[in-house]
Structure formats: C-alpha cells, structure tokens
Amino acid sequence: MPVINRHSHGEALNIITFNDNQINFNEEKLSQLLLHPQVKDREIAIVSIVGAYRKGKSFFMDYCLRFMYANFKSLNNSNLSSTSSWIGDKDEALTGFSWRSGSIRDTTGLSFWSDIFLHDENLAILLVDTQGLFDPETSTEENAKILTLSTLLSSSLILNLNNVIQEDQLQYLQYATEFASLASSNNHNNSKPFQRFLFLIRDWQNVDDFEFGMNGGAAYLDQILKSKPDQSEELKSVREHIRESFDELLCCLMPYPGKKVATSSDYDGRWSAMDEDFFNELRLLIENFLAVDKIVSKRVNGVQVTGSSFFEIIKNYIMTFSTSRLIPKAQTLYELTVNKFMTKLVEKSYEIYEKNLEGIQETNEQVDGTHLKAFEAAMAAFDGTKKMGNEQDEEKFKNQLKQKINIKETEWKSIWLKQIKEIKEEKERKRKAEEEAERLRQMEIERKRKEEEIQRQIEQREREIEIENRQQERFEDRKEKTKRI
C-alpha cells in the first residue's frame, strides 16, 4: 500500500509534469515559491534527485527533509527540530514527498517541496524530487528532458542508480554536458557551469573492490570517468565534459537496505527496519552532503542567481523545451538563456538611469550634469554585475543599454530644455512687466509731485497776494487817516 506523506510544514508541489511528450508548467505555483518576499532577493540553492524509478529517490529525499528541518529554519517553521537526533525515533514513519514500495511510479514530473529553507540572510534552499526514469510509461525523449532539466535547474544534483554506473546512463548526460561545454567556452568568468553532482549507487555489491560510502565511491567514480584507449571519441568526450562541467563530482556506494525496506508493501519508512550498514551510510551521507558549509548556491553561466532571476530563467527553459518533442539544441537554449539574463540586466541598469533623472532641472548646465551622473550610475550597475555570455555578448547588450539611454536622453533633455526656455522667457516677460510697472509708477509719482509743486506754487502765490492785499489795505487806511488830519 502507498504511504502518502504530508509533512506538517509543507507538501510536494507538481511544478513541471510530462504528458505525451508535452510539458505542463505550473507557473503560478513556482512564482509563489521563488517570488516569495523572503526568497526573491536571496541566492538560491536547489537540491534535486533523478534516477531510475522505484529505486528510493523520494524515500531518500524524505530523510533529507528530516535533516533540513532539524538544522535549518524555513518559511513555515522558525524553530529547529526538537528531537535529540535529526534522523528521528527508530519507529517514526517517514513523511514528506509521496513514496511507496512496488513497481508503479509514484512521483510524476518535477515536484518542489513547498516549504523553503533559509540560511543567514542571503540563501534560500529548495528540495526537488523527480519522476523516475526508464519506466515503461516514459519515452526516451522524456527521460532525456527530465535529466537535462534537472541538471540545468540544480545546484546539487543526485543521480540515483542501481548497482553500477552504466554507459547508457552517462550518455543521458550528453546534452547537459554539451550545454555546459558551450557555456564554458563563452563564459569569461572562468567558472564551471554546474556546481555539485552526486552519483548515488544503491545496492552496491562489489565491496571487495570498493568500500561502501563516499571514499569507496570516489575511487569507483574515478575509474568510471577515466578515459580508456579503446573507448570511442564520443564516450571520451562525455567523460571529459562531465569533469569540466561540475565544480564537484561525488559518488556514494550504498549497501542493500534490508529485505523489509526493499520488498514490503506496508513498509512506512522507519529506520528500525533498515540493515545497520545501510542506516549508518544513509546518515553519514546526508550529514555530509547537506552540511551547511557544503550547500552551494545556483550559478548560471558563472552568475549567482536570486529567486526572482531564476524564476525567469526557469520559464525560459520550459518555453524552449516545450516547443519540440526533441530536446532543443544546446546552442539555442544557451543563447536564449544569455539573452534573457542580459536583457534583464539592461532593463535594471536603464531603470537606474531613469531613477537618477528625477528632480527639477533649472539650467541647461544642470540638465547636462544630471544626465552624466545618471549615465555613469547605469554603466556602473551594468559593469559591476557578473554577466552571462562572452565578451561579444557583453558588448552587444552594453550597446543596447547605451542606445536606450541615448533615446531617453534626447527625449528627456528636449522636455527640460523646452521647460527651462519657457521659464526663462516667462521670467523675462515678468521682468519687463515689472520694469514697465515701475516706470509707470515713477511717472505717476512724478506727475503727482509736479501737481503738488504747482499746487504749492499756487497756494504760495495766493498767500503772497493776500499779504499784498493786506498791505495795500493798511496803506489805504493810513492814507485816509492822513487826509482827515
């Protein structure tokens, strides 16, 4: 019977599913994860697992969930696990991604765990489970797409295999390594395209040759990836590109888990039923692989991506993979990825230019100075960001940014220079009007002064005449008196 696991802090979300060679993409659910306020500006680490169906991928990821909840805070859980050991009680049923024993696949497509783990202030960690490969219901094209998409999306990818690493399984990595090789040759950051890759070999039997665990796995992987004289050039190329594609290549050889774990339909994941060797190796592997100092953030073409930028990149991948039944050419996907990232960088740098243009401009000199300051800020943002692509790509998109700025500069300057001219003309009209008003005021003052002067002269003359009249009257009076005497 299936064990349907639901961890109290999250659930598996089918973000990408495959149906008749068609890809169904739940963009809304992915946006809720990667564009979450606490995630969108953080660097992203994605731990995912791929491999043959019914070989314990989801089972392994559920124990990874136990470790993560014991050692990391998450969006839905601010407290670390209260148990004394991250692996839990021996008879505790396993919860998390859905899984079951048997021959029928349980996970379809790519399932993201809905709760995201947080480290410090700059890293968000997502766990992804995938549909099993090589089952009767999955076409060769779907197998290749699932493995390729998982490789492109992950910062830590686990390839879950049974017994040994087979040649055809390595060849399924051909496309991813072609993309990696292309990215490397065009990447002037001098970094490898992908970060960590773990070959997880289940039911390892050749213990006499290579011991269980990471040390034996490292020796075994070194032998597998070693080029041999009798190999074809294609096989040599795959091995060479695998080494050149990942910062870290790991391999772990796991024992048989025990009869009840491997065959019982009612097994619920408790570790008390595991063989001791398997239990010990499982614990050591997870503690090593998911240690905080081992988890790496996702880079695309040498550039660290945030939740928001990776959301756009994933949409670009899905769009490209959805256009054909076959896997798109590596060159096509590479160019689309570079174009998407660099176009976004141009937009962000241009927004900085526009932001720096804000404010009132009062003189032609100030307009020129503001533009120059905004231009330098936009160029500094562009030049200071790690970029995808080669030097020709960088020059191409830098010129695009300059062209956008030139168009905006012409438009913006035209508006402000016209406004400044109109303001100057208005000030000149106002000055002349004020001068004319002052002239008229002075004329009025002068007119009034003259009127007052004339009035004063008239009044003065009237007073003089009055005095003269009085004097004449007194003279006449004296004259009259003299006659009478």
Closest CA to 301 of 218, 225, 386: 386
Element (H, E) at 337: helix 330-356
CA dihedral 160, 163, 165, 168 (to 10 degrees): -90
- Alpha-carbon span 380 to 373, nearest angstrom: 11
pLDDT score, position 182: 62
Strands (E), 205-258: 246-253
Q: Is 326 exposed, middle or buried (0-12, 13-18, 19+ CB in 10 A)?
A: exposed
Largest CA distance in the chain: 177
Q: Which two tokens stand for residue 33?
A: 């994860």
Q: What is the DSSP letter of 443?
A: H
Q: Is 284 exposed, middle or buried (0-12, 13-18, 19+ CB in 10 A)?
A: middle
Cβ(155)–Cβ(195) under 8 Å?
yes
pLDDT score, position 3: 38
User: b/e map of 238-261 (b: 16 or more CB within 10 Å)?
Assistant: bbebbeebbeebbbbbbbebbeeb
| Local confidence pLDDT in tens for the 485 residues of the chain | 333 333 568 899 999 988 776 788 999 999 999 999 999 999 999 999 998 777 788 889 999 999 999 999 999 988 775 456 898 888 988 888 875 554 444 456 899 999 999 998 999 999 999 887 766 666 667 777 788 888 889 999 999 999 988 877 777 776 666 665 565 555 555 678 889 999 999 999 999 999 999 999 999 999 999 888 888 777 787 788 788 888 999 999 999 999 888 888 788 889 988 999 999 999 999 999 999 999 999 988 778 899 999 999 898 888 877 766 556 665 666 677 788 888 889 999 999 999 999 988 888 898 999 999 999 999 999 998 877 777 888 899 999 999 999 999 999 999 999 988 998 888 889 999 999 999 999 999 999 999 999 999 999 999 989 998 888 888 888 888 888 76
Q: Is 287 exposed, middle or buried (0-12, 13-18, 19+ CB in 10 A)?
A: middle
Q: How far is CA 345 from the centre of its chain?
A: 11
Quickly count helices (H) and strands (E) in the chain. 13, 12
Indicate the pTM of the whole model. Answer: 0.71
Cβ(140)–Cβ(180) under 8 Å?
no
- Alpha-carbon span 43 to 305, nearest angstrom: 6
Q: Which domains, and CATH codes, for the chain?
A: 12-325 (3.40.50.300), 342-428 (no CATH)
CA-angle at 416, arms to 412 and 418, nearest 5°: 120
